């Protein structure tokens, strides 16, 4: 159900508020370019700085604006289980197709704590759930054993987004769970190696600005044309790396501004790019022939 190119959508701001006009245009842009699904209120969407009211409204707006033309996944993770339940229940209520739940961050739960956290949400809210493993940000990794335990006991735990360079982990997940469980890359530069091991796609930062190219990469890999997928990977590799010159989503939102897609506006503690890094990003975008307007 969830495969191919899924964009981790930025949340546009204007004068301190969510810019819903720009958000609607971004969703339309991805529908036009064949993106398979949009993820709203993820880390790339600056979810940590959204209020609960804004978070709920962004998800509801995305579902309503998409109007069935593209799947909508809502980021509903939190480091408190009751908060994750609230966000996930709202996502289901307004019609999101799935929820992405990040591993709780900072409080570093044990594997039993992670199991109970995700199990509680899965029991409380009957919506497809994709778990999000990103130990570099959360401070703890959900083990393959815990992942398999959840997938075997809760049919609505349907996949995981993996932001890790550990390809042995991907092999072990696919070996144990097979095609019944979806694995998605959480890092554009690792999409091709993960898909070569059986992953079904990517939750992509780069797709914010090159959606057709990311879609072509995942489509090629899914049909087994790894030669073409590799060509696209190397063509985009420099861009993949440039979008992480600073903490995500600072570079990608800056790129969106350079392309005239939204304002270059962040909420503290995120700030504008260092001018030298912004110049480097600008040069990479120009090298790709992207139409800069700022």
DSSP string for residues in 52-100: HHHHHHHHHHHHHHHTTSSEEEEE---SSHHHHHHHHHHHHHHT-SEEE
The reply to whether 106 belongs to the active site is: no
Which residues have C-beta within 8 Å of that of residue 58, sequence separation ≥ 6? 11, 18, 23, 40, 41, 45, 50
Rounded Cα–Cα distance for residues 8 and 206 (Å) = 9
44 marked as binding residue:
yes
Which is nearest to 46 in space by CA: 210, 215, 250?
250
Rounded Cα–Cα distance for residues 117 and 239 (Å) = 36
The reply to whether 32 belongs to the active site is: no
Q: Are 131 and 164 in contact (CB under 8 A)?
A: no
203 marked as binding residue:
yes
Q: Which of 92, 115, 132, 215 is catalytic?
A: 132
Strands 4-8 vs 37-40: parallel, antiparallel or unpaired = parallel
Which residues have C-beta within 8 Å of that of residue 36, sequence separation ≥ 6? 2, 3, 4, 5, 6, 70, 71, 201, 215, 218
The helix (H) or strand (E) run that includes residue 48 is none
Q: Are 104 and 70 in contact (CB under 8 A)?
A: no
Q: Which of 161, 241, 264, 280 is catalytic?
A: 161
Known binding-site residues for pyruvate equal 44, 203
Known binding-site residues equal 44, 203
Active-site residue numbers?
132, 161
């Amino acid at each position: 159900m969830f495969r191919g190119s899924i964009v981790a959508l930025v949340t546009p701001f204007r004068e301190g508020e969510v810019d819903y006009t720009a958000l609607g245009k971004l969703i339309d842009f991805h529908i036009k370019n064949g993106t398979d699904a949009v993820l709203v209120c993820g880390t790339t969407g600056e979810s940590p700085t959204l209020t609960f009211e804004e978070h709920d409204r962004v998800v509801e707006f995305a579902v309503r604006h998409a109007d069935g033309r593209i799947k909508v996944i809502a980021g509903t993770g939190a480091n408190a289980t009751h908060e994750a339940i609230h966000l996930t229940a709202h996502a289901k209520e307004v019609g999101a197709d799935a929820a992405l739940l990040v591993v709780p961050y900072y409080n570093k739960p044990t594997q039993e704590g992670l199991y109970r956290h995700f199990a509680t949400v899965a029991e409380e809210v009957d919506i497809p759930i994709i778990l999000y493993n990103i130990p570099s940000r959360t401070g703890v990794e959900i083990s393959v054993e815990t992942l398999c335990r959840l997938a075997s006991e809760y049919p609505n735990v349907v996949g995981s987004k993996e932001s890790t360079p550990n390809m042995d982990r991907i092999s072990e997940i696919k070996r144990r769970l097979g095609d019944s469980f979806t694995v998605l890359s959480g890092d554009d530069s690792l999409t091709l190696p993960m898909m070569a091991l059986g992953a079904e796609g990517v939750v992509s930062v780069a797709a914010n600005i090159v959606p057709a190219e990311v879609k072509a990469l995942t489509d090629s890999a899914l049909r087994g044309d790894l030669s073409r997928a590799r060509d696209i990977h190397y063509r985009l590799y420099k861009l993949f790396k440039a979008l992480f010159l600073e903490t995500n989503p600072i570079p990608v939102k800056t790129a969106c501004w350079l392309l005239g897609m939204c304002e270059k506006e962040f909420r503290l503690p995120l700030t504008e790019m260092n001018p030298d890094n912004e110049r480097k990003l600008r040069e990479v975008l120009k090298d790709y022939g992207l139409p800069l307007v700022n």
